[in-house]
Amino acid sequence: MKKNVLVIAGLAVLSTNAFASKARMEALGQSSTRGSEYLSDSRNIFRNPALLNQTKNYIVTEWGTSAAADSTTAPRAEGGFFREMGSFNYGLYLGNNSDKSEANFMDQDNALDLFLSGDMGVQWGAKLHYANAKDESGAFNKKNSAFGLGLGLISGEAEGYLNLDLADKSEGGAAAADQWKLKPSYIVGGSYKWSSVTFFASYEARKYDTTISSTTTTKKSSEIVVGAGRVHEINPTARVLTDAKLSLVDDTNITATGKTKTTSLPVTLGFEADATSWLVVRGNVHQNVFLGETKNVSGKKTTTPNSTTVDAGATLNFGKLKVDGSVGTTGTTGTAASKTG
């Protein structure tokens, strides 16, 4: 099981459905990193910063530890504030580090995100991401530096976004000469709301070099996502959500000429209801349907096991203060640490 807790303190009047929460996104089967393509939540600004025009004037704090990495057993503390200033909106967010899976290398730490948005008939937004850290206490020095840029536009029912990782480099691993270097990588996507259904698509590409003991390995990955989501208002206090996403992932070790392909079609069924004026409850069930398998470098296929997950959560409303939390089942590996947030 996992538990998340989040506190939101409003800087201006917030409506009862104004949420800003990793915990809420997870409880509804959405991404805690980039938010949702069709559900309104201020977490979505990490996907499209132009959405800051629609969610502003608040402070959010995610409770957790001081660890650079984010995990169930040690959630990472992070948070920030967002404010309206005339015809513009701006924000400062702390601790939104990007985790790496390469062992021995320093992860991003003490990350800083700066937001700016406005509306000139077409809503626009921009985000700058910066991180810089070093450790000189060991036998040799370690350091990491990273820089990224996010851009977004909204026009009517259509939106588009581009997030660029321009640089991310870690020096010093198991030895002083070891190095991990991300080459310019990106995710580009968009959505369009037609009637009550939002159709969305995205393409993500990443490539990096790892140098260990003077041997360099180059790896790259890509993911194509195409999907649709819908929020059905049962009444003014209850909502049912459904979505389906076709995901095609390629992980390639260029140096060793090996490729792994994963195909999945996860479906999410969820709900959210205002139980009282001070309590909102939510939950979802999520599972691959028809598609859900991985083909390894030898061409052999394996069905993704135990893809069914169930999450639940709630928000306690105290005027302008909201306390948000979630509880969920474990992920596909069946271990407590297999879900993050």
Q: How far apart are CA 119 and CA 49, in angstroms?
A: 12
Q: How far apart are CA 259 and CA 252, in angstroms?
A: 4
pLDDT block averages, 10 residues each, the chain of length 341? 48 45 89 93 95 93 79 76 95 89 86 97 97 94 96 98 96 95 96 96 96 93 97 95 97 84 97 96 95 90 91 92 82 47 38
Q: What is the pLDDT of residue 20?
A: 65
Q: What is the pLDDT of residue 19?
A: 60
User: Are the CB atoms for 266 and 286 separated by under 8 Å?
Assistant: yes
Q: What is the pLDDT of residue 277?
A: 94
Q: What is the pLDDT of residue 46?
A: 96
Q: Which two tokens stand for residue 224?
A: 């194509």
H or E element: which one contains 327? Answer: strand 321-328
pTM: 0.89
For the segment 293-325, what is each residue's pLDDT rounded down to a tens digit?
999 888 889 999 989 989 999 999 999 999 998
Three-class HEC string of the chain: CEEEEEEEEECCCCCCCCCCCHHHHHHCCCECCCECCCCCCHHHHHCCHHHHHCCCCEEEEECCECCCCCCCCCCECEEEEEEEECCEEEEEEECCCCCCCCCCCCCCCCCEEEEEEEECCCEEEEEEEEEEEEECCCCCCEEEEEEEEEEEEEECCEEEEEEEEEEEEEECCCCCCCEEEEEEEEEEEEEEEECCEEEEEEEEEEEEEEEECCEEEEEEEEEEEEEEEEEEEEECCEEEEEEEEEEEEEEEECCCCEEEEEEEEEEEEEEEEEEECCEEEEEEEEEEEEEEEEECCCCCEEECCCCCEEEEEEEEEECCEEEEEEEECCCCCCCHHHCCC
Question: For tokens 């650079």, what's the residue?
Answer: 68
Q: How far apart are CA 146 and CA 168, in angstroms?
A: 4
Q: How far apart are CA 166 and CA 149, in angstroms?
A: 7
